[in-house]
Amino acid sequence: MSGKKGMVHKNRQFLLNRLQDMYGEHFDPVIQMSENAVKIQALVDSVLDDLEVTLKEKLEVLILAINAWEKPAQYTNAKRWCNFCSVISISMAAKS
């Protein structure tokens, strides 16, 4: 059974309001994810510079950094990618 139309947006807004109540009115989950990804990236960079860390450990921390940046990238680049695809489609259609 599906919910009422618009229910997903209502739940998202409720969650955002709840998070803002907990962490302050200017809290933004995407910004927070990005700030955390920067912290993880700094840790990864320090591990990569350590000569005593094995290659396997370096690869593991690189994967950690990729995973940390994945979510903010989805929020910030999804629309850009769609716009890019639209431009390519339009330009290819114009050539034919």
pLDDT value, residue 74: 79
Q: Per the domain annotation, does 20 fall within a domain?
A: no
pLDDT of residue 67: 86
Q: How far apart are CA 56 and CA 59, in angstroms?
A: 5
**Residue 1 covered by a domain:** no
pTM passes above 0.85:
no
- pLDDT band at 21; cut points 50, 70, 90: very high
Which pair of structure tokens corresponds to residue 51? 């000569």
DSSP 3-55: --TTHHHHHHHHHHHHHHHHH-TT--HHHHHHHHHHHHHHHHHHHHH-TTS-H
Write out pLDDT tens, residues 47-92.
Answer: 888 888 898 988 888 888 888 888 778 777 655 555 555 555 555 5
Q: Is residue 17 part of a domain?
A: no
According to the model, what pLDDT value does residue 1 have?
A: 47
Q: What does the CA dihedral 69, 74, 75, 76 come to, rounded to 10 degrees?
A: 80
Residue 9 located in a structural domain: no
Report the percent of the chain where pLDDT is more than 70.
69
